[in-house]
Chains A and B, each alone.
Chain A
């Protein structure tokens, strides 16, 4: 009886989620298959003629193959930023969690301000110009790392609180140095949070529009989100190409989500046990 009741709840939840998640996705796919005029009606209808392949070719060829360059740029940006974020944020969180000191209050305050205070564009560009990093991919990577740092430090810290101190002590007694203690003993224990951070931050950075727009000028530096604007302008939009581009861009995060779905929930939940 009880399992029956439970499955009913599940079915209702699925039914509710269909219009929210699947209908928009179906709309993207349908529009991506249409021709230009057919798509301009923005109707939820079966395409008159399926032109998905033509649209994909159109998207890839637009602006001399900018889409391909953009995919490479976005991949480099996402992978590098997320790797740096995971390593740096977990190290910061480990030190903050394990070594209470007078500075902790200030550092916690700075971490929280990173979440609260919105970043300003013009001063950031001035700093980047001073560092000779403006308009380069490494510059943007550092920006994404800086903006994502607070959120990741908080996640890691919350999870580290659940790992008993005895683990560290045992490792130290066995002769592990600081680096070895962290990378070989603690870091593997953080697996579920690391996966959460990877997934959440990858999606955020991959989907970022404003930071690449302002901090990485130049057509050769475009990221995938910026290519959307090739097909959408103030007065005239090629809906079919726009939605094809959206479809292509949606695939990588979607694949990632399908693979890591379980771990995300587990990671978020395990971090929330102790604050």
Chain B
């Protein structure tokens, strides 16, 4: 006779064993469900893009136009959050094999963080590669293999300014930093806000540093390489440190809006559009928001590159567009490749122009812009047309970008941290990142 207690524990063990067995059978039945769809039948692929209004519009336009060219392939749109939630989502999906057939993501250092060789399909031999801008190819290449196709347009990190106020005050576009400060003083004397800063949205604080990088490259062409190899530093190189110094200077001269600490990006755009504020260091994509919200004022918004010390070298720091990638886990590789090739073709550019207007130059050969472009794009084009008129931002030529730059630039721009100390803090911030990426020399 078993006692009641032993009976109970036998029951418990039996329950435990059956639970495990249940889990195991669940596992084994998960194997053979992969369905190989033949290339000729109708196929559905999914396309993942971040949820910003502009990009969703872009994706919808691309999908509608692709349906006309390839009626057998249906593309389904899925959106994801932007920012760090989005980064985590992308990495989770890649590592669990649940990534959509085609996805849209940043190029440059964020692309490198996806472990492209392990997760992405090599697109080097696709037809679009031959027509893609060589500068763009470098930011989606890992170990000599191309993994992404350009989607969207290049943008500049520059000073957006109100042309109407500039004309009223008789100012001209500054070629050197000293001219820029002189202009700002005149604007201040006229009772307007010379420089807009919006530190509530911390990312907006980085432009004086990141957008100055073309001037660094102009003076020291190998800086990015030395920086990646741990030979060049922001703190010890006076040319590279200029960005931090500028940030400190505009605050100490009192050239900022009074509420710079609490103003938001949206408020900054409003000040600029209404002419209450005159100059806003920003990425050029921001003007498309002004066009949407303040259509009457949009033609007053112009762009000039952040000036350096040498008036003869006036170079725009550019941000490469994002790219579309295909994960290795896709079951519809041929269909996905077809869609990617369409996005990076002249027909793809036309579709993008149709759905989101002209936001900057395309990086696909043969995608020319019409004569009638928005004012700010017209201001950007001379930089792109001149030989050596543009230079990519640091995050596209070096895999290293420290995560805390925006906090450091807010502190420097608010007069809390001196520029030299801020530069040193950023060098330190970058060190951890470089070690994580396993770059030699750190």
Contact = CB atoms under 8 A, between A and B. Distances in A.
Given A132-B29, A236-B53, A219 B79 contact: yes
Contacts of A214: 89, 92
Interface string A222-246: 0000000110011111110000000
Interface residues of B, number: 41
Interface in A132-154: 132, 134-135
A256 B96 CA distance: 37
A233 B288 CA distance: 15
A233 B264 contact: no
A213 B50 contact: no
B41 interface: no
A4 interface: no
Of A99, A130, A134, A235, most B-chain CB atoms within 10 Å: A235
A120 to B, nearest CB: 11
Given A132-B26, A219-B78, A235 B52 contact: yes
A122 B294 CA distance: 45
Given A103-B9, A122-B96, A230-B79, A36 B89 contact: no
Contacts of B208: none
Interface in B253-308: 264-267, 270, 285-286, 289, 293-294
Contact of B89 (A41, A134, A213): A213
Contacts of B289: 235-236
Interface string B89-100: 100110111100
Contacts, number: 94
A178 interface: no
A237 B83 CA distance: 13
Given A37-B293, A129-B96, A131-B27, A234 B89 contact: no
A63 interface: yes
Contacts of B93: 217
A26 B203 CA distance: 29
B98 A121 contact: no
A102 to B, nearest CB: 7
B75 to A, nearest CB: 13
Given A131-B26, A131-B27, A132-B33, 20 more contacts: A37-B293, A40-B264, A41-B270, A42-B264, A63-B56, A101-B8, A101-B9, A121-B92, A125-B92, A125-B96, A130-B26, A131-B30, A132-B26, A217-B93, A229-B51, A233-B82, A234-B83, A236-B289, A237-B266, A239-B266
Return the 3 tightest CB-CB contacts between A and B, nearest first. Answer: A233-B52, A234-B82, A40-B266
23 contacts: A37-B293, A40-B264, A41-B267, A42-B266, A101-B12, A103-B12, A122-B96, A127-B23, A129-B97, A130-B23, A130-B26, A131-B23, A131-B30, A132-B29, A135-B98, A214-B92, A217-B98, A219-B79, A234-B50, A234-B203, A235-B52, A235-B285, A235-B286
Interface of B: 5, 8-9, 12, 23, 26-27, 29-30, 33, 50-54, 56, 77-79, 81-83, 85, 89, 92-93, 95-98, 203, 264-267, 270, 285-286, 289, 293-294
